[in-house]
Amino acid sequence: MSVGALICGCAGTTLNDNERDFFKQANPWGLILFARNVESPAKLRALTDEFRSIVGRSQAPVLIDQEGGRVQRMGAPHWRKYPPASRFGELYAHDCLTALSAIRQINRLLAEDLYDVGITVDCVPVLDVPQPGSHDVIGDRAYATEPASVSILARAAVAGLMDGGVLPVVKHIPGHGRARSDSHLELPVVEASLNELRSVDFAPFAALADLPMAMTAHVVYTAMDKSQPATHSQKVICKAVRQAIKFDGLIMTDDLSMKALSGTLAEKVKRAQAAGCDMMLHCNGDLDEMQQVAEASGTLSGPALERASLALACARPPKPFDRVAALDVLRQIDLESV
């Protein structure tokens, strides 16, 4: 059975007939969910179950951005709010062992929330390293402002997620931390030297290069490519991501509907594939746009198919854990909120 080389969204908390037909025909590799798709645990589980039933793959990935802080698609009243990544960095600066234990246990709690409703991939950790003058689109979503701490904290977060049966996606490779604008709205241009990028921006991605999946940055790095953002740049994907960072896993684009990218959706897909991206990501749930992306993306094959299969093979069943103790950790470090 051919599988589409795309991950796409849907419009609401249930699928409509047109979406069902689309999923059956396009057979996207995965589904990504947002707050518009979230109502209750029962409805969310029904949605993920139906998607997998339609595509006929029980292990078809369902993704979400559940970072904590201001990027959290599942929230009150059914799910607790988690802290932003920067809170762990603040704790790490004062008590590194407590911070590492806390981040692992709290991400294990978060993974349970996701796994229980059929979500098996979380688009974390954010490995971007904010620099002075950068846009706040990353801000407190980052663990710290220096790469070693980002790497160490992210590794602990990943351990908690994977202990809970949830796969991570590192983002935004090769680094969004210097961007002075929001790529949702416009194309950021980073003019740092290659040495600066290697020593700071690339470093956390290199430290976690063994992880199964990464999401690109819609950012121009003039030291490598003066005109094309990473998502559309063969120079960046091949020389930075594959060679310098040594990331061998599945590369998915950031959302193709973001305004940082120019051209038609078909053009965006073709440029991303030519650059070396394996998987197209389209998030807004617009069915007409999804159909355009699916048609342009084609089906998974060759190295992209192998990397997608290897990524899913990294998943393991949730391990037992002490939920009461993890909740106590959340309260003790003043991270829990209503």
Q: Is 184 a catalytic residue?
A: yes
DSSP string, 115-165: HHTT--EE---B-----TT--TTTGGGSS-SSHHHHHHHHHHHHHHHHHTT
Q: Which of 21, 95, 136, 184 is catalytic?
A: 184
- In terms of DSSP bridges, do strands 71-72 and 280-282 run parallel, antiparallel, or are they unpaired? unpaired
The Cα–Cα gap between 249 and 194 comes to: 23
In this structure, what token pair is assigned to residue 64? Answer: 């979400």
Q: Is 176 a catalytic residue?
A: no
The Cα–Cα gap between 217 and 82 comes to: 24
The Cα–Cα gap between 168 and 331 comes to: 25
Q: Which of 113, 122, 140, 254 is catalytic?
A: 254
Strands (E), the chain: 4-8, 28-33, 62-64, 66-68, 71-72, 121-122, 167-168, 170-173, 189-190, 213-216, 220-221, 250-252, 280-282
In this structure, what token pair is assigned to residue 237? Answer: 């994907």
The enclosing H or E element of 50 equals: helix 41-55
**So which residues are the catalytic ones?**
184, 254
